[in-house]
Structures are given as structure tokens and as C-alpha cells.
Structure 1
Amino acid sequence: MIKSETPEPEKILEVKDLKKFFDIKQGFVGLGHQTVRAVDDVSFFVNKGETLGIVGESGCGKSTMGRSILQLQKPTDGSVLFEGIELTKLKNGQIRKLRKDIQMVFQDPFGSLNPRITIGTMLREIVNTHHVVNKTESKSYVEELLEQVGLKKSYYDRYAHEFSGGQRQRISIARALAVRPKLIVCDEAVSALDVSVQAQILNLLQKLKKDYELTYLFISHDFSVIKHVSDRVAVMYLGQIVELASKEEIFEHPLHPYLRALLSAIPLVNQPKRERIILSGEVPSPINIPEGCRFHTRCPFAKDLCKQKVPAFEQKKDGHWAACHFA
């Protein structure tokens, strides 16, 4: 009897050696300069239909990475393939056409909405610009879209300031969905909301993922949020991914000392207490990256090798990658 092989998942997004550096001028006349290495040699892929969570402390480069992938900020170097198309080589007009397939939900919904026009007008303009439906059908399409994200049709004629934070984020999600995208990048999409509202928005995103067959790249600093929505998780530290695995592997068998320390700080209910790992010192500046392993200045297990040699980001076991000499 011949066993049927499970087909390989289809990759919708591939990021290879992505870098985004910023030059900072120094002095009164700006003669000197320093380089901020916000995203430094990041590689990963996202399979069609999955949610890849990107988690890390504030300032680790995760939001800059998201914007670089969407070409909202031009990468310094590296490759971004969306369905086999190299985004970094495209001109502005070509990227604009692909905006229909790749959308973003931002952290601040109010800052990303136009306060001068009603939400119905805003959404209808997007639908008409991208020719999603006939212009005669666009109003009814937008009203149906509002209901899909948990809002009323009657909100069509309201302005952004008339809504609560959770409602504004629903509008932002509706805007992203309006053009029927394939991939949505959620950048701290629930971090500005109350906990009860966060749960509603996360459940809405999960429902829409099934209904619209969406793929998510979900960026957050909150492990509980990442655990709720993700299929796989990538952990970032100081501009690099230090560990990547399935959600179950990340939370049950963490390998990198940085991740182990973060998880040890999370309170557990009705479970054995974890051994607490205390990190010393502050996160180094992305202007002055430490030699060797970037984490060795805070790692309680660091050895001389860690100070001298950069650890390779390699597969430690099936589907579980880490950048640590002693993982």
C-alpha cells in the first residue's frame, strides 16, 4: 500500500536577508553620522492561510520590518517575494497595483482614518478606485462590509470621531477587507484597546480569516495575543529573529534564553511554577550592536564563545529554529 504524501504548504510570502538601516546625522551641520540597524538580516516565510506571529520587546524592529515588507519604507537590502513577485524591485506604480492583495491594519485606528469624510465615503472611494464592484453596487457592498466587521449599516454616514476605539479598529479592518486582499499585516492591531475589546477584535480577525481565506502576519509585543491568534511564532530581539517554531513548540519547549526568560515571567494558573530567569541590564542600542551574540550582554548563560562568535540561525529540530550556540 502506497502512503499518500502530504503536499507542501504553498508559500505566499518569503522574506530573505531583509535589512532596514537608518542614518542619523550628528553635529550642528550634520557632518558625522551613525547607523541604526533596525532590521538586520531577517529571513522567514508565511504559508498561505496561516497566521505567523511576530513578537518582541518595543524597539526590536518588528514594526519597521512590517512596513519594509509592504514597501512603505524601502528596505536597505534583502528580498521580499509575494506570490513569487519581488516587491523590492517594483516601481511605485507597480506596487500600487499590488496594494489590493496586501493590506495593513495599523496600531492607531484614529490616526489612520480621514476625519473629514464619513466612513462610508472613505470605504466607497477605496472600493471604486480598485474596481472591486460596479459603482452602482458599491454603497450596498460597503454597508454589507460594515456588518461583516460587527458594525451597523446606519454608521455609513458617521465620521471617525463619533466612534469608540474598538469601533474605529473595526473600520480599519473593514478598510483592509474592502479590496479582498490575500495577506493582511496587523501591526499591534489590538494594543491600544481595552482587554475586553481586544478579545472581540481578535475573535473577529479569526472569523474573517476563515470567511475570506486570509493569511495574517501578526505583529505584537503581547504573548497572550500571539498565542491566541498564531499558527507559528517568530521571536525578535534587537533587529533579528532569534527563534521560530510552531505555537506549541514556542510555548512548551522554548530554546533561546531570551524567550525562556520572557515566558518565565508570565504568571500561570493551576500549573507548576516555572523557574524564573532574571535578565540583567538594558537592551543594547541598535546603533551600537554588541560583538558576537547580540543577547550575550543580558544572558545569564553566556560563555566566552557567545562574546566572540555570532550564532547561526539554524534548525535545532524539525521546524524549530534558533540562533543560540547552546540551545
Structure 2
Amino acid sequence: MPSPAPAYVERRRGASLRLALRGIDYHLTVWGEPQPDTAPLVLLHGWMDVGASFQFVVDALAEVEPRERWVVAPDWRGYGGSVSPPVDSYWFPDYLGDLDALLDALAPGREVDLVGHSMGGNVVMLYAGVRPQRVRRLVNLEGFGMPATRAAQAPARYAQWLDALKTPAELRSYPDLDAVAARLLHNNPRLAPERAVWLAPHWAERRDDGRWHLRADAAHKRVNPVLYRVDEVLEIWRRIAAPLLWVDGDLTDTTQWWGHRYPRDEFDARLAVVPNVRRHRLSPCGHMLHHDQPLALARCLAEFLT
């Protein structure tokens, strides 16, 4: 068996910070110190990820920006080091509430720059439309939203959720960190091995059984009983005041998630309601933009945020 790759070495080492937000013991990774003349940069991760996952982009930004800014990346409730009370499922209103409380705690009365990936991208789009006065610049990294739903789907969706509650949700565990890193590489073959080795102890933790478990509540796997209402989402998107940067990867295949229920041209039509949009595509790059092309993404962010 080949020896594991050496771990990635950080250019800017993040510090851990804990905050009590809405009854949740929230964990944040923070780089640098608050700066009175520069908007904080808040990075929001996606489903089954953690805030520390942005380390490679933060390091790349240090290469391309003239000065290092204050960067904050929370672990969403039920992920990483953010301890959440037992719940049956998670939903977007709680993420919005957590983000609002986070900004009130860290940057009261100030505008911030928001960057969200995937699920985090969906959250920042909603937040920027609901709280337009709080967002100076907005970046969505492949937060596509969800396929449209119809009211007729509600009975079956609620039944599916009730059925799921009868069986405890579980996530796979791993014998050691090498196996965790191997899983990360399997999930994303474009991830550099040294980055997978670095991410593994941030993505998983060793528990009393001696095995490594993902730092994620298995309840995240359960279907949400509440339908995704596109008409409501678009009304919120129309109220986004900040300039928006949309970034995607040329290798992303959305059919792997939704088949043909939600084609890309439908997403493009939705995005057209946002008043001020700039688009950028990274290549070669898949859905994990911050892992596949951190330097190219950092250059794009630096230009947009300056």
C-alpha cells in the first residue's frame, strides 16, 4: 500500500472561536483580526462540509490580495464543531436565523462580504434578499437552489418524512484517518492528496469506539418535509441589492443530483431576476470549487471584492 501523502501546510493558520448563537454552541474558524476599514469576509460551507474547508482559498487570497483581511468561516449547526441539540431534520429558516445572529455578534451594524458554497450559496442568496442592507458584496459558488415543487407533492413528502423518522439516521464511520482521506479523494478525484490528508481530521473525529466519524449530524440526510417554493425564493432574490458574483465549474453535472427535473437553463432563468450579476466559470473544475481551483477562485474573488 502506498504511503499517505504529506499533509498540506497552511499559509495562514486559522484560529478556533466559539459563540453562543440562538441556543447553539457555534464553532468558527477565523483568520486575522477585525479591521475597521474593511468589510469582514464571511465564508459559508455547503452540505456535509465544514468551515475549515475554505483554508486553501484563504491561503490563495493571501497570495493575491495586497492585504490580509479578516475572514470568518462558521460550521453550520450540526456540522463540524457546532453542537446542535437533537433534531429530526434541518431547514433553511434556521440557517438564516443563525447567520443573522452571527453577523449581529461579529459585525453589528456593518456591511459584510458573503461567500456561500452549494447549500451555503443558497443561504446567502436568501439572506441578501431579506437583509439587503447587511451585504456589501455577494458571491454564490454553485448554490443552484432546488427543483421546483407543486402543492400536490406535499402529502407524499410529509409521508416520506414520517417514514424516515422511524429509522435512526446513520453515517458511515472509518477505521483511521487514511480511510477518511481516501473517501474524500473518492468523492472528488480532483482533490490534491495532500489537501485530503489535511482535511481528514477537520471532516471527521475519533470517538470512543476507536473509529473516525464524520463531524455531521446524520439527520442532515433526512428529507425536509417542507416543499421548496420557487416563487417565494425568486421574490427574495429580486430584492438583492449587492452586486452578485456567480461562480461555477465547467465539469459540474447537475443531473447527478436531480436528473432532468431541474435543467441548467431553468436555473439561468431564475438567476436573471437578480438585478446585478457577474458570472465566472472555472476550468477544469467541478462542484467543489474551493478544493479544485483555490488559486483561480481566489483571484476571481479578489477582483470582485476589491
Instruction: Give the TM-score, by structure 1 length.
Output: 0.25
Determine which structure has the larger helix proportion and give its number: 2
Instruction: Give the TM-score, by structure 2 length.
Output: 0.26
Determine which structure has the larger strand proportion and give its number: 1
